[in-house]
Amino acid sequence: MNTPAPAPVAPPASAAVEPAHAASLEAAKLSGRRAALLISTLLLGVLSFQLNASMVTPALPQIASSFGLNADSAAPVQSMFFLAGAIAGPVIGRWSDFIGRRAALLLVLGIMGAGTILCIAAPTLPLLVTGRFLQGVSSAVFALAYIVLSENLHAKVFGTSVGIIAAINGGIGGVDGYVGGLMAETLGFRSIFVVVLVLTAIAAACIIKIVPKGKPDGVRGAMDWWGAGSLSLFLVFATYFVSGGSAAGWTAPSTLALLAATIASFAVFWIIEKRRSNPLIAVHHLRSRQVWPVIATTVLTLAGIFAIINFTVVLLSQDTLHGFGLSASLSALLFLTPAALIGVFAAPLAGWLADRRGWIKTLRAGTGLSLACAIVAATFPDNQVAVLIAVAALGIFYNGFFLTAINGLSVLLSPKEAPAALPGINGASFGLGASLGVVLVAPFAAQATSAGYATALWISVAITAAAFIVSLFVAAPKGETL
């Protein structure tokens, strides 16, 4: 007796639709001239933010004197700028999941434009600081740029494009700071804001024309404003706790009150996220290897390496008694410019390698070799050539490999239902890590002794070693093997 053959079982509808949908999305990705135009447009956007950060720094003394105040009075001009950036990154990044990337980019550039106009016209320092806070919102453009690249470019060029954007993270090879100082001296500090305003307008026009419309697929629900508010409070309290501990002492009542507020605000954020159906980022993701190791690696690496490049070595190189006795300009030329300039070329190369050799390998190579550079600087703090070579090499391994890999992984490992959550939170971690590193080494480097500099450098080594250990826990993106 012949048994009839079983009828073929049709695959589930979702199984048939998802590959077709994925194929259509891949076919819609940009390439060639259109991809180059998109990268160039996003580059203009991040330049609008970066020049706001780097060109204003050398103009701070003139800003204070123009209002008849001491140089210390200008500190909020930068601190409020970066505080706004820390808040805006996670909030606007996640909001872009609901309003679309192009709308979010135009929103942050619009807010920055309004802040820039206020800075140009501000008759008092408090109004200028308000303008700077509005300008700082544009920090979100970095996270948004990485997400736009991921959603619109083929995977084989994503890494290189991330490297191109990441190359601007430290400025334009150190030239922008010099130009900012020159403009402040010859044309006045407000001329810097005029340049920024023109660049912002050009970037916005290009975004309208080049960046695709629409909202990302797979995102449901509405923006979690309660979670955004509680996370913003946590970032504000954490930032002031770090700076307050350095200024007033870690056991001062004000510092302990800020610590308590930091812990309480994070607890509130955690409780809110557990109860929301569409949280800013789900609690189970915060506990996963896709999220917490990325954030921790960013904070620790910034704390370790930023303090070396931008604080300890700066003091060491200009110390005439126990350091190298260089002028401020020569110190910047020898110890700041090379790393920034090398990073401009190393970052795209790192992205190219990440696409071909793996993002995790690139991250670990960058973190591990940055640690090696830190050890060299700490071992030979009295040898100018050794310190110079170590800091210049950080242009490859820190500015290039690490920054490119950690920014790329923040996009690739972000939860599918909240694709902008991790890039935004990771972006906020940069400022927190940098501040923490300077605070931890400042008491020792400020002693202006050989032992003090050596201790500060070894503290940075220990922090960077912790960063390398944590980087070993970062999960590999889908499809990547270790």
pLDDT tens by residue, 161-211: 999 998 887 667 667 777 887 888 888 889 999 999 999 999 999 999 999
Specify the pLDDT at position 170.
65
Q: Which of 3-12, 51-60, 358-367 has the lowest mean pLDDT?
A: 3-12
Statement: residue 312 has pLDDT above 70: yes
pLDDT tens by residue, 443-467: 888 888 999 999 999 999 999 999 9
* 3-state secondary structure (DSSP) of residue 30: strand
More confident residue, 350 or 58: 350
| Average pLDDT in the chain | 86
For the chain, give the percent of residues with pLDDT over 70.
92
Q: Which of 234-243, 267-276, 402-411 has the lowest mean pLDDT?
A: 234-243
CA distance 154 to 36: 12
Specify the pLDDT at position 108.
95
Specify the pLDDT at position 171.
67
Specify the pLDDT at position 348.
93
Rounded to the nearest 10 degrees, what angle do helices 359-379 and 292-301 cross at?
30
Alpha helices in 122-216 (DSSP H): 125-136, 140-152, 155-166, 175-186, 190-210
Tell me the average pLDDT across 70-82: 79
- In order of 187, 196, 208, 230, 453, the CA distances from 101 in angstroms are 36, 22, 11, 23, 45
More confident residue, 403 or 11: 403
Look up the pTM and report it.
Answer: 0.83
Q: Quick one: which H or E segment has residue 300? A: helix 292-301
Contacts of residue 410, Cβ cutoff 8 Å, sequence gap at least 6:
143, 146, 294, 422, 423, 426, 427
Specify the pLDDT at position 243.
77
More confident residue, 233 or 216: 233
Statement: residue 101 has pLDDT above 70: yes
Specify the pLDDT at position 68.
86
CA Rg, the chain, in Å? 23
CA distance 283 to 285: 5
- CA nearest 349: which of 407, 411, 401? 401
pLDDT-derived band of residue 123, with 50, 70 and 90 as boundaries? very high
For the chain, give the percent of residues with pLDDT over 90.
48
pLDDT-derived band of residue 283, with 50, 70 and 90 as boundaries? confident
pLDDT tens by residue, 315-349: 898 888 888 988 877 877 888 888 888 988 999 99
Statement: residue 269 has pLDDT above 60: yes
Q: What is the DSSP string of 64-100?
A: HHHTT--GGGGHHHHHHHHHHHHHHHHHHHHHHHHH-
Q: Is 468 left (phi over 0), alpha (psi -120 to 50) or beta?
A: alpha
pLDDT tens by residue, 9-20: 444 444 444 444
